[in-house]
Amino acid sequence: MIDLQKASPLVIYDNRCYLCTKFAKIVDFVAGRRLLLVGHYTDLGEKIRGQVLDSSALEMFWFVDGKTAFGGRAAIIPLVSAIISHSGKAAHHTVDDGACGSECRTAKAVFLRSASLLSHSRKIKIS
């Protein structure tokens, strides 16, 4: 069982997607490396998905603040708020380059991922 109160705030992203990985790198830079970034397909990411998230987990990125998991569109404002207000120490992590092939790097892929971000939204209370 992962104690999300201690691990928070964290961002869960698709570490097999080139565009999602670039997004995670930008978030990491803007946040001053103070947020924990976790790939969906890492051991920790799979544990968090099994413990907290539901079947829609892989459809979007997630921001977890310890009390709530915000997915997709619902995660944007809490993520920006955490970047502005969080004053913790730098988290120890690396953002892997996406393992996706060239199809993830096209203009169509950028459009589809952006549309996906705006069309998907979830909030899950953490007990």
C-alpha triplet 123, 34, 24: angle, nearest 5°? 60
Looking at residue 107, its pLDDT comes to: 76
| Cβ contact 116:60 at 8 Å | yes
Domain boundaries, the chain: 7-125
Per-residue pLDDT of the chain (127 residues; tens, 9 = 90+): 677 767 778 999 989 888 888 899 999 999 988 899 999 999 999 999 888 887 788 889 999 998 999 999 999 999 999 998 866 666 655 566 556 655 667 777 777 777 777 788 899 998 7
Looking at residue 96, its pLDDT comes to: 62
Structural Rg of the chain based on CA atoms: 14
Q: For residue 125, what are the CA distances in angstroms to 39, 63, 66, 67?
A: 21, 12, 9, 6
Give CA–CA dist 61/3, Å, rounded: 20
Q: For residue 37, what are the CA distances in angstroms to 93, 104, 109?
A: 7, 20, 22
pLDDT digits (tens, 9 = 90+) for 53-73: 877 888 899 999 989 999 999
Looking at residue 17, its pLDDT comes to: 84
C-alpha triplet 20, 8, 115: angle, nearest 5°? 25
Looking at residue 119, its pLDDT comes to: 80
Looking at residue 115, its pLDDT comes to: 74
- The secondary element (H helix, E strand) that includes residue 22 is helix 18-30
Which residues does residue 62 pair with via DSSP β-bridges, in sequence order? 12, 71
Looking at residue 56, its pLDDT comes to: 81
